[in-house]
Structure 1
């Protein structure tokens, strides 16, 4: 019955996820999907694909205990941590449950597992997402609190729909962040024109005069472009558009 409720909620979530116009909106949709199901912690780690491999520290989004987030935040190039190593090398999800003091004290405990057990989580699922040739930490960690019955229902019986939702969340956030090759946000012609002129230093009034539209029209297109790029302001939007190759100055 519980597995059915997880599966039933998936279609609506995927529709909302596909409709999200920014990475932050997609993440909020993910929280709205997972938390009511009993997933009490989420960590999303996204690598930075480049030609020939991946570079830098993975981008991180999280709704979890700070100690768990810190344990995930700075993986080594070849992670020794069992959870992070799974995200870096595996193709399928891995369930680790139950967690607890005995596991945290064992010789096989790792940073993420120790932190999760100490924070009161009782189980977790590591869901890798592979979209580049490099060995990098990429995917999601779902953390759960509850007794053995709830753990079995959520992490074992509900593993497939949960893992699928996690993978789609990860990919959608990456798409909307402009992180995947060929998946930069789609800007309309007018949005590109407004951003290009803004990047050249024109004021809102000057942009409007150059394009023959009102100031409110300029602001409308800037706001839409900002949402698609997940930008904080006008300057941030132009910078993101340039770095993503969406406009040239």
Structure 2
């Protein structure tokens, strides 16, 4: 659901390793900052902060994704334009799947309310339903966590569209999220120097990895943005 599957896609293990390392280092660094400077009081607060950032990223991506993909497709010349339009379904499906996965638990927990006037039979059926939903959530939790991790690494499987799209979209997304957090004052309790280092460190590191990935695609595999657009 969350990993690229296009058969003719260029698979570069070195690039994937760099993406994984970038993601892990970023999560560890931000977690250290949240705990060290008292922004997050405990592990639950750290998890809440990370999920809050993921929700922010999903909102930003939900707006950015169709615009960026539409711009990429519009910039391409035929016959690639129609080809990319057909390929856009899988990345859109990955984004939709993760949004639904994160939204379902909130919808399900609303079913746990039992009115005082509810008769025993209705309550019993509700208990059975809640047990079934609980079993579903046991599956949904690991699925959602795995989906989040894979989506961060593969940028919602946009390599299924073209190999150059993930680094371009990742760069755009991370700068948008950084600006959003800067104006929202996410790390106001952190010293200014550290706050700026973390606010700019993420976007700069992601941009550096993206530029390196684009260069590697060009030098090792002959794949360029201009070639993708037939320009």
TM superposition score category, shorter chain reference:
under 0.3
TM-score w.r.t. length of structure 2 = 0.25
TM-score w.r.t. length of structure 1 = 0.24
Q: Which has the higher contact order (CA 8 A, sep 6+)?
A: 2
Q: Which has the higher strand share?
A: 1
